[in-house]
Amino acid sequence: MELENNREPGEADGVGTKRINNDGKSIEDVDKARTGGNHTMGTDSHLDTSNIPETINGTTIGGGIYQQKTVTNVTTQKRPQRRGGKPQPDRPQRVLFCLSVKNPIRALCINIVEWKPFEYLILLTIFANCVALAVYTPYPYSDSNVTNQALEKIEYVFLVIFTAECVMKIIAYGFLLHSGSYLRNGWNILDFFIVVIGMISTVLSNLMKEGFDVKALRAFRVLRPLRLVSGVPSLQVVLNSILRAMIPLLHIALLVLFVIIIYAIIGLELFSGKLHKTCLRPDTGERMKDEHPCGTGFQCSTGYVCYEKWDGPNHGITNFDNFGLAMLTVFQCVTLEGWTDVLYNIQDAMGSTWQWIYFVSMVILGAFFVMNLILGVLSGEFSKERTKAKNRGDFQKLREKQQIEEDVRGYLDWITQAEDIEPDSDGNLMHDGKAKQSNEIKSFDLLEDESQEVQVAESWWRKGKKDFDRLNRRMRRSCRKAVKSQAFYWLIIMLVFLNTGVLATEHHEQPFWLDNFQEYTNIFFIGLFTCEMLLKMYSLGFQGYFVSLFNRFDCFVVIGSITETILTNTGIMPPLGVSVLRCVRLLRVFKVTKYWRSLSNLVASLLNSIQSIASLLLLLFLFIVIFALLGMQVFGGKFNFEPSEEKPRGNFDCFWQSLLTVFQILTGEDWNVVMYNGILAYGGIKTIGALACVYFIILFICGNYILLNVFLAIAVDNLADADSLTTIEREEVTDDGKFNKSPSPTPTIEGEGMKNINIEIDMDGDCIDIEKLDDEAIYEDEEGEICDEDLDEGDKDVITARPRRMSEVITSSKIQPIPEGSSFFIMSQTNRFRIFCHWLCNHSNFGNVILCCIMFSSAMLAAEDPLKSNADRNQVLNKFDVFFTGVFTIELLLKLISYGFVLHDGAFCRSAFNLLDLLVVCVSLISIQSSSNAISFVKILRVLRVLRPLRAINRAKGLKHVVQCVIVAVKTIGNIVLVTCLLQFMFAVIGVQLFKV
């Protein structure tokens, strides 16, 4: 086989050169003769002869590789088809009934609006407009300053730019009537609405300067930041995903509205007019300082009487006097903010305690059940979107793989089309080759003598380098083995926890010796962690070290700690900067996540979720900015109620304070208090001030229940992936352990002579060294230490990648047979009395009787009087307690006889629930036998009787399975609790660093 490599440029394509066969005829002439003179290279023909070889004068011609006077494997390759240009958009032929496509004005507008710098200019203008709105400072009573007046003039510039953009887009795309027109796009509708409102407000402000307040219309300017969404594709994707989830959320919204309406009507019937009494002095008319509802449940102090004509709590906003205020109060209770205050006010006004049924049922049904359905819907929708995105990615990878396979198949077909050289036709070529080879041999003989002298001089250098490389490899192998050892693992863990303990010792007014101790230990730990970093760099190599994210994190922490120490000791930075920089030390705490595989997967999933919700974070920030600007326009300068009173902290008087207030409302902390102030700012509930609650309700619903729940949905999905990854890795480790135990049929390469083997890949001249592969690829095993956790013996279910729902778990309630072995060493498995005890314990009626006794005994415990221990009621209840304790003791003895105590499998004490029963019965017996109630230890034991209701778990099968699922969930969230504790510890120490005096 031979491939000609000495081709001129252009010969590979068969275009632009004249190729000659052995008879001196050009291939083009042969082709013309073969196709009747109508075929020429580079033009299309009706007959495809690219794959039809033909022999001309003993030479095979197929149209491929040619050489002058020699033809070897001539093939004509099919020219690739040129793809067509980008299709032109389908624009209407005429817009606004007068402008055609060829109109110069319309063509200019099309070029401008589709020009990329123009889009960037509009986005920059929107950003500048947002800055101008944020700089604006609202003042009470419509006052202004020089800055606000200048901003009003700049607003005209923004309005002109946005109007010009709107007009050019209408001219370019049309207005409304045809598809693809300007108003057929939702974002363009928003732009058009904002521009029209801006023009109307400008015209009205100029025509009626004194008689018309355009502040309400100017409030719509805050919607301009929404135009950023139309200019950022990632924001459009996130917002469209949320909008697609609105359809199922609409059903939940109707359910929530139904619940609120039902409870509002019930509250209107029960509590209407009950919150308008408070205490005041009859002689002076002075009310009590802390106004409070009074009635049969709350008696006024001496000198005060219960006066009826009072607005009510929170200036009359929180009440059930009409349907609207009742709905607002119910919504506040459903958000779990201040619902206890409403409950206590109702109880103080009405006197009885049955009102808790209304409020507790409303919280359970509305807050715990219905509102959490929003998270379930969002989680389901985003899981579907994630699955669709994954399927699209897999399909794209499959397409790429198929394309690669087609390319490889094409290359292989091209390579295998080469043919053997015929000696008759290519004798001259072989003769030229032999002559060339003889010349090369002669020239090599001339150079051999000179190279031998150089080799003698370089042999000792190569030998020394080879010995050094061998020693270096052995040392790196030893260091790598040490780094991956369990001793090194536990050493780093111990150092991390010691460093954590030292960081936690810092406090206010600490002694001088503790300062020195903390400084010296900090230098000591920096040195140790630096040695760890350098050792890993040496053993793994720079490439293998920095591939790992945790190694990069370690490197950042070490370099930051060294920098902080140098700046602290030299005194270059101010004290505050040093305190901030010292916080880098706290990042060492997270080194523990590197060596804990399940915790590492959890942290990786959290980081992955942060990457996946970057666009959502931007959308949330944009949402906060818009509502902060709207709050400034609506409530700015209006929270000054009384000159003697201090202005509330949560206000909208400047942009930064408005941002903080909006974020406070999103978190749900005292959002109702800010809403009360907003209603009072416009006159209270007796005027239009009641409409101010719309702003706060929309902000709370969209921000807290939708956007923040989207974060939770993405985090839940990523945490499920982390659990799946940990489970899969455990299965892989188990399989690897089984594989390593079996004899390996793969031979190993040993010996000095095999260490210099190279794998040469003759593609683009690259060469890969086995040693280099071994050194560089070791990072794949660097994270390989996985702390296995033993599974429960009774857990024989197949471990799946994704956690199963509870409804998928098949619960079995089979009767356990009598365990093998003797009970108390005297009763065998066939003992009749033991068989009778087993039958009685597993009888359904016996279980129901015991369950009833547990419920009655729990009710007796709840009926005790804790204030008077010697009361007659407690004496009667003690007699019942003795009776129930006797019943539980008989049950315990029957089960001990039936199942045995502890020594054999299936014994009574081998179950955690049975141990709980044993503890409760023993505590009850000890408390009954003790006659002295003064012994504190006995009192503690009597307190443990409150565990008695838990005994019902082992009797109710459904409840038992629910508790088991909760226990499994508690085991699963252990890593989450640990990460939370690490974060709390880090921010606690940061707080000590920054805010201690």
**Residue ranges for the binding site for Ca(2+)?**
337, 669
279: CB partners within 8 A, 6+ apart? 287, 288, 292, 294, 300, 301, 304, 305, 306, 307
Strand partners for 99: 95
H-state helical runs in 742-843: 770-776, 779-782, 832-841
Say whether 404 sits in a helix, a strand or coil.
Answer: helix
Strand partners for 100: 94
Q: Which of 480, 561, 418 is nearest to 782 (CA)?
A: 480
Pairing status of strand 74-76 against strand 59-63? parallel
Strands, DSSP E only, in 177-291?
278-280
Q: Nearest 5 degrees, angle CA 547-CA 553-CA 554?
A: 100
Alpha-carbon distances of 806 from 441, 812, 976, rounded to whole Å: 81, 13, 21
Helix (H) or strand (E) holding 497: helix 486-504
Alpha-carbon distances of 911 from 47, 906, 908, 962, rounded to whole Å: 85, 8, 6, 17
Q: Which of 282, 263, 391 is nearest to 328 (CA)?
A: 263
The per-residue DSSP string of 824-880 comes to TTTB-TT-HHHHHHHHHHT-HHHHHHHHHHHHHHHHHHHH--SS-TT-HHHHHHHHH
Indicate the burial class of 395 (C-beta count within 10 angstroms; 0-12, 13-18, 19 or more). exposed
Distance CA 143, CA 141 (A): 6
In our burial notation (b when 16+ CB lie closer than 10 A, e otherwise), range 10-37 reads ebeebeeeebbbeeeeebeebbeeeeee
Strand partners for 305: 280
How many Å is the Cα radius of gyration of the chain?
42
Distance CA 696, CA 671 (A): 8
Residue indicated by tokens 């956007």: 707
Three-class DSSP labels, 521-589: HHHHHHHHHHHHHHHHHHHHHHHHHHHCHHHHHHHHHHHHHHHHHHHHHHCCCCHHHHHHHHHHHHHHH
Say whether 768 sits in a helix, a strand or coil.
Answer: strand
94: CB partners within 8 A, 6+ apart? 100, 101
Identify whether the C-beta of residue 554 lies closer than 8 Å to the C-beta of residue 533: yes
| 488, two tokens | 């090194």
Pairing status of strand 94-95 against strand 54-56? unpaired
Identify whether the C-beta of residue 70 lies closer than 8 Å to the C-beta of residue 429: yes
